[in-house]
Amino acid sequence: MTGAGRAVAIGRMAKLLDQILVIDLESTCWDGPPPEGQASEIIEVGVCPVEVASLRRLEKRSLLVKPVRSTVSAFCTQLTTLTAEHLQNAGSLADAVRVLKKEFRSQERLWASWGDYDRRQFERVCKELGVGYPFGVSHLNVKTLFAVAFGRGEELPLDAAYAQLGLPMEGTHHRGADDAWNIAGLLGLLLRRLRSEK
């Protein structure tokens, strides 16, 4: 490999620390086990980039995904407000992954979620559907970070964390874009607190 080629390869592997991509997934779900022949799959990817320098939330994006191995149950609609009609003209998981990689440079940036569910779900569903995993190896579990920062003996659901701080959540809980926005808000709060204690 030439010197220029080596520099390009190293540049591709370099981690960008200008933003943290906060991700929240919504998936098909049931009040109990999935029906025969169905499996939980991603139906919304909520994205909220946080600018590391200012800790500002830069945008709130919802990438809807049409399910291919399951249907949206009444329980799922009650939880997320998403219906089969909402997802009828949605793109595929591969489409959402392309947006994450191209527009958000997800493979080069640190990404964060509330707990490990989103990471495990992305890994599992991408593997099962033969879709390339959109992230690098660096994942930040904000749920654990919040528990440790406040000296709690257990992790809290997102709405309970907001309640502990006496702050209102914005938007609709269990919608990916709104939850990503709210998680990003708590991440910014935790990082501001860390910086102010220097």
Residue-wise pLDDT tens digits, 76-105: 999 999 999 999 999 999 999 999 999 999
Q: What is the DSSP string of 3-54?
A: HHHHHHHHHHHPPEEEEEEEEEEEE---SSSPPTT----EEEEEEEEEETTT
Q: What is the CATH number of domain 16-196?
A: 3.30.420.10
Say what the pTM is: 0.90
Residue-wise pLDDT tens digits, 126-160: 999 999 999 999 999 999 999 999 998 899 999 99
Q: Return phi, psi of residue 136, to 5°.
A: -85, -160
* CA–CA distance, 198 with 70 (Å, rounded to integer): 49
pLDDT at 183: 98
Residue-wise pLDDT tens digits, 179-191: 999 999 999 999 9
